[in-house]
């Protein structure tokens, strides 16, 4: 019943279209791009629950206080200490190895702010746990959300990240805050941002968005 309610809210009330069903594998990582708003979580939760899926999301441990803790866990929240990146990867790999069903949804951008280089934690998790990665998306321009296609990791972090961002670039999506989405991969931290619909070669101001 709850899945039907979620699907109704997503499609009939909010006007979104679900592009596909849940991931067939019991264990996987589903990327969520472009992440520019806190509402991305609402859209992705309604979508994946609505199509019969159940995914976990990493949430900073400070948010798990009473009475929010039980609510966070019921929504798939997994408490993590983001100040210890290696510890997060290790704990997630352990979750994958110990659970029969563990699908983790995360944003490779790692923030709603405009950034140039995405985080690599998902790559290490997937490689160490030997699980597939799906190129999930929420396109606010077309109002289409999906878990996307499976991407086979090569083991080369930089090459995989560059290829994944290139695939997302080809999808020509729009974030809720378009100016916060950077699709081009560049390992040079001093390189300029390229933002869809904006003039290239300019480093845009970083700001928080809801």
Q: Which of 163, 178, 135 is closest to 30 using CA atoms?
A: 135
Q: Residue 86: which domain range?
A: 2-180
Q: DSSP per residue over 8-51, as a string?
A: HIIIIIS--EE-S---SSSEEEEE-B---STHHHHHHHHHHHHT
pLDDT value at position 198? Answer: 37
pLDDT value at position 206? Answer: 33
Residue 194 lies in a domain: no
pLDDT value at position 139? Answer: 96
Kindly state the greatest CA–CA separation across the chain: 50
Contacts of 146 (CB under 8 A, 6+ apart): 18, 19, 20, 47, 136, 137
Residue 203 lies in a domain: no
Q: Bridge-partner residues for 144, per DSSP? A: 17, 139
> What CATH number is associated with residue 17?
3.40.50
- Using DSSP's 3-state secondary structure scheme, residue 124 falls into helix
Residue 205 lies in a domain: no
Residue 143 lies in a domain: yes
Reported in sequence order, the residue ranges of 113-160 that DSSP labels E, i.e. its strands, are: 133-134, 137-139, 144-146, 150-151
pLDDT value at position 77? Answer: 80
This model's pTM is above 0.75: yes
Residue 24 lies in a domain: yes
pLDDT value at position 197? Answer: 40
pLDDT value at position 183? Answer: 62
Whether 72 and 45 have beta carbons less than 8 Å apart is answered as no
Residue 104 lies in a domain: yes
pLDDT value at position 82? Answer: 67
Q: Bridge-partner residues for 28, per DSSP? A: 103
Residue 209 lies in a domain: no
Total of domains in the chain: 1
Per-residue pLDDT tens over the stretch 85-97: 668 999 999 999 9
Per-residue pLDDT tens over the stretch 3-47: 999 999 999 999 999 999 999 999 999 999 998 898 999 999 999
Tens of pLDDT along the chain (210 residues) come to 999 999 999 999 999 999 999 999 999 999 999 988 989 999 999 999 999 999 999 877 776 777 777 877 877 888 787 666 668 999 999 999 999 999 999 998 877 777 667 889 999 999 999 999 999 999 999 999 999 999 999 999 999 998 998 999 899 999 898 877 776 555 454 544 444 443 333 333 333 444
Residues 55, 73, 113, 184: what is their CA dihedral angle, to the nearest 10 degrees? -20
């Amino acid at each position: 019943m709850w899945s039907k309610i979620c699907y109704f809210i997503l499609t009939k009330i909010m006007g979104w279209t679900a592009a596909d069903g849940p991931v067939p594998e019991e264990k996987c990582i589903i990327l969520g791009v472009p992440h520019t708003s806190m509402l991305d979580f609402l859209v992705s939760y309604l979508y994946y629950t609505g199509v019969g899926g159940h995914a976990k999301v990493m949430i900073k441990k400070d948010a798990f206080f009473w009475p929010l803790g039980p609510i966070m866990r019921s929504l798939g929240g997994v408490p993590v200490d983001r100040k210890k990146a290696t510890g997060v990867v290790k704990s997630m790999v352990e979750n994958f190895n110990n659970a029969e069903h563990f699908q983790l949804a995360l944003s490779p951008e790692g923030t709603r702010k405009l950034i140039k280089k995405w985080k690599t934690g998902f790559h290490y998790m997937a490689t160490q746990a030997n699980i597939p990665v799906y190129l999930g998306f929420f396109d606010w321009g077309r109002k289409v959300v999906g878990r996307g296609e499976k991407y086979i990791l090569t083991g080369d972090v930089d090459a995989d990240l560059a290829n994944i961002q290139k695939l997302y670039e080809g999808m020509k999506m729009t974030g809720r805050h378009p100016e916060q989405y950077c699709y081009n991969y560049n390992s040079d931290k001093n390189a300029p941002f390229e933002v869809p619909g904006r003039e290239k070669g300019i480093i845009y101001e970083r700001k928080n968005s809801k």
